[in-house]
């Protein structure tokens, strides 16, 4: 039984995950108290985080900084993320400059399948856009956790633009939150 690769992302009703390079994410409904338990449960189901290099350079230092302050409301997440095994996918970095972080420089499909074959809890990926679109293109994501925000962006970045053919999915669960967010969980159709 292989472990699964799970994607969690914030998405707009029109399917965008970012407004572009300088996305300030003001389009996202930040109602953490609303979705906390579900985000926490997903994060707890995994022990390995995949990150594209572009996101990693901000993401890893951000959580290391948050982890220094036990009073930060995000401390529990910071603890989890800092201590998780992180794999940064890169063609340019020579070696990891962060704790608990490895570099993957090989073929994407081989590297991810190799990780899925290892023992442990599941694997999770949160971004960034370009890295995730490569995972989607290569059919490597087993479960999708989309937080659908009550907004349309009109334009922006998508993780599905590299798809050659439609993907039909099976719905695992859907859930509405008081803040107007909907969580849709899908898995690839077998």
Partner 1 sequence: MSRKLKLQVQISVDGFIAGTNSEMDWITWNWSEDIKKYVSELTNSFDTILLGRKLAEGFIPYWKNVAEDKNHEEHKSGIIFTNTPKIVFTKTLEKSEWENSVLAKGDLKEEINKLKNQEGKDIIVYGGANFVSNLIKENLIDELHLFVNPAVIGKGLSIFHKLENKKELKLVHSQAFECEINLLHYSLK
- CA gap 148, 16 in Å, rounded: 10
CB of 112 to partner 1, least distance (A): 19
Q: What are phi and psi of 38, to 5 degrees?
A: -70, -40
When asked if residue 176 is in the footprint of partner 1 (CB under 8 A), the reply is yes
Span of 6-14, 44-52, 83-91, 102-110 interacting with partner 1 by CB under 8 A: 6-14
- CA gap 67, 2 in Å, rounded: 31
DSSP state of 153: -
Q: Which is nearer to partner 1, 29 or 96 (CB)?
A: 29
- Are the C-beta atoms of 41 and 175 separated by less than 8 Å? no
Kindly tell me which residue out of 45, 104, 171, 190 binds partner 1, with binding defined by CB under 8 A. 171
Span of 70-78, 81-89, 90-98, 165-173 interacting with partner 1 by CB under 8 A: 165-173
When asked if residue 165 is in the footprint of partner 1 (CB under 8 A), the reply is yes
Q: Which is nearer to partner 1, 95 or 155 (CB)?
A: 155
Q: Which is nearer to partner 1, 8 or 12 (CB)?
A: 12
- CA gap 24, 84 in Å, rounded: 26
When asked if residue 91 is in the footprint of partner 1 (CB under 8 A), the reply is no
Q: Which is nearer to partner 1, 74 or 151 (CB)?
A: 151
Question: For residues 150-180, b (16+ Cβ closer than 10 Å) or e, as one string?
Answer: ebebeebbbbeeeeeeeeeeeeeeeeeeeee
Kindly tell me which residue out of 5, 6, 7, 12 binds partner 1, with binding defined by CB under 8 A. 12
- CA gap 133, 109 in Å, rounded: 13
When asked if residue 139 is in the footprint of partner 1 (CB under 8 A), the reply is no
């Amino acid at each position: 039984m292989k472990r699964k690769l799970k994607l969690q992302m914030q998405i707009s009703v029109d399917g965008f995950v970012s407004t572009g390079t300088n996305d300030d994410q003001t389009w996202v409904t930040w109602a953490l108290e609303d979705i906390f338990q579900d985000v926490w449960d997903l994060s707890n189901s995994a022990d390995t985080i995949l990150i594209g290099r572009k996101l990693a350079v901000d993401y890893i230092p951000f959580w290391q900084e948050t982890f220094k302050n036990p009073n930060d409301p995000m401390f529990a997440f910071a603890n989890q993320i800092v201590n998780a095994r992180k794999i940064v996918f890169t063609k340019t970095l020579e070696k990891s400059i962060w704790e608990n972080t490895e570099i993957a420089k090989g073929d994407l499909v081989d590297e991810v399948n190799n990780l899925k074959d290892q023992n442990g809890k599941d694997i999770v990926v949160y971004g960034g856009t370009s890295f995730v679109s490569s995972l989607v293109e290569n059919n490597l994501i087993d479960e999708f956790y989309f937080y659908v925000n009550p907004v349309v962006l009109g334009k922006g970045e998508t993780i599905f633009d590299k798809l050659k053919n439609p993907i039909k999915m099976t719905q695992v669960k859907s859930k509405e939150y008081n803040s107007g967010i909907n969580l849709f969980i899908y898995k690839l159709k077998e």
